[in-house]
Structure 1
């Protein structure tokens, strides 16, 4: 990071466990590390569990954290919590300088009933009206904030970074080794992937899924049942949660990356796949087209199992196309920002937000 911000201070308010192995928390950890490396004094405050549906205890804890912040403090709040803290945000809007970090709007989570979706939209819209600035992780999410009444002048895009990594060496076997890195939640589309692969059992492939099986236990249980019902237990391996340092080995041994999400605010796992030159099969949902160039992957409509199956079949049967996508991924990796660069952009966005007047 070229600029120094010695003496600058901010408080980072994080719901849940900052050390959790999800894309959002990985982003938060790297940004905090980069800010500190450039001279920022960053205090991290844990808000408790259960967001965006916190229990009374977590809300009380959050209120105590916010009330203890000194007047004029720059408070960066992860959007998983901030979107449901609308009353608290407005209560302290004159005293604190709020910055919301929105990975993706809460109301766009898959599987919400209409009433819950509307309630999340309204609370997030009200909360965002209290901020000095909003930092998002993709141009797609920035464009989407128009629907929440956030002026573009208050929005900064800071895409996730990647670290330099060697190209994947692949499985070296006869069949393809497919990799999916994502928590087992409905939004990530694992069930659709199992359905698509079930009719391709006469081809040689294995699927390695890395991601938490406890974040949504019901989803994980249903996925295990679907794998067993389709007779795919020997073909699909659910590795569970893995630390960030363990992931490079999975990427290195993969031949291609698959993520049939219904929505992504960026898709950090996709960027990590590109950083290793892996061909990508994903969807046109959310920010994924911003993340994966057409030369590096095949993007199908979200929820379209036939299109997903067709793309996977071509990946298995057309080595020339697979090599073409790999070449595209190798080219795309050169354009990916480092965490150092993303941290510098985040710091600049914070300074800009500090200088703005209160929004309401």
Structure 2
């Protein structure tokens, strides 16, 4: 059972457990602390009644463990193979996520506003219908920043239209405030496109999957994980400085691109994910 359904149905899971039914729950994202004690209590009841819990990231499993819930097994998402992105001139930046406060597209826009003197273009790809009020805020922020001609709101894309956006990308951004894993990170790396994420979220785990070791044993990320403590202008300045360094320093561009291209061969595939799920369901391994 999907976790989004399970946490809303603790009575049903407890009834099923008493009836001897073996129901496992797949948790993509634990209930946020901000949801309040009632929602957290429902999550606890549902997951304790489950025969097993599978999380799609180590960070999600760690959150549940900290809440005193059953130890969860982890099955990281796989990545579909994709051809390397061609990129663009001037460089094109891409943020793929529904327009939601948690995804923090307003921070992305604020960071881009600080580098208006450089040449680049950007696209925000994601549904504007989930939270129309926030989508309007993002659109207004683009207009206020004088970026209307450079930052496009592309809406939700699929198929060839989405692939075309990936193909023209040189860098992708996922600065979500909370993220259990961030499949868009591995989707980006599968195309050799480096990624900038927020430190302290599960997106770092996705970026770490394809990290490479230096000669001295240090880790080299195919992109960057930024400390963004939700400090408004301070966060925008950090993001802006990182983007400026990447745009102005061609050695950094080449290095990140090289790491991302190497990362393509290190990503787990969906067969491995399926195997981990099967082992979790059967208690093997």
* Same fold (TM > 0.5): yes
Deviation at 1:245, TM superposition (A): 5.2
| Cα shift readout 1:66-92 (whole Å, capped 9, x = no counterpart) | xxxxxxxxxxx2112212222222122
Alignment partner, residue 301 of structure 1: 227
1:162 is aligned to 79
Counterpart CA distance in 2 for 1:235 and 1:246 is: 19
Structure 2: state its 5+ residue gaps.
209-219
Gap change, CA 1:244 and 1:89, over 3 Å in 2: farther
Q: Given the alignment, which residue of 182, 199, 202 partners 2:117?
A: 202
Unaligned runs of 5+ in 1: 1-76, 354-360
Equivalent residues of 1:170, 1:252 under 8 A apart = yes
| Residue 151 of structure 1: how far off its partner (Å) | 2.9
SS in 2 for 1:266: coil
The total of aligned residue pairs comes to 267
Contact 2:170 2:193 in 1 (8 A): yes
Is 1:107 the counterpart of 2:29? The answer is no
CA distance in 2, matches of 1:117, 1:327: 44
Q: Alpha carbon RMSD of aligned pairs, Å?
A: 1.7
Q: How much has 1:103 moved relative to structure 2?
A: 0.7
In 2, the alpha carbon distance for the partners of 1:146 and 1:180 equals 31
**TM-score, structure 2 as length reference:** 0.88
Partner of 2:215: none
For 2:163 and 2:81, locate their aligned partners in 1 and report how far apart those are by CA, in whole Å: 11
1:281·1:312 contact (CA, 8 Å) conserved in 2? no
Q: 1:106 to 1:245 in 2, by over 3 A?
A: farther
Q: Which residue of 1 aligns with 2:62?
A: 143
Equivalent residue for 1:89, pick from 13, 19, 25: 13
Could you tell me which of 233, 252, 255 is aligned with 2:170?
255
For residues 117 and 315 of structure 1, what CA distance do their matches in structure 2 show?
A: 40
Measure the CA separation in 2 of the matches of 1:219 and 1:244.
Answer: 26
Query: Superposition pairs for residues 1-360 of structure 1, below 5 Å?
Result: 77-95=1-19, 96-107=21-32, 112=34, 116-152=35-71, 155-171=72-88, 173=89, 175-244=90-159, 246-293=161-208, 294-302=220-228, 303=230, 304-352=235-283
Local SS of the residue matching 1:343: helix
Change (3 A) 1:132 1:246: farther
Instruction: Tell me how far apart the structure 2 counterparts of residues 286 and 99 of structure 1 sit (CA, whole Å).
Output: 25
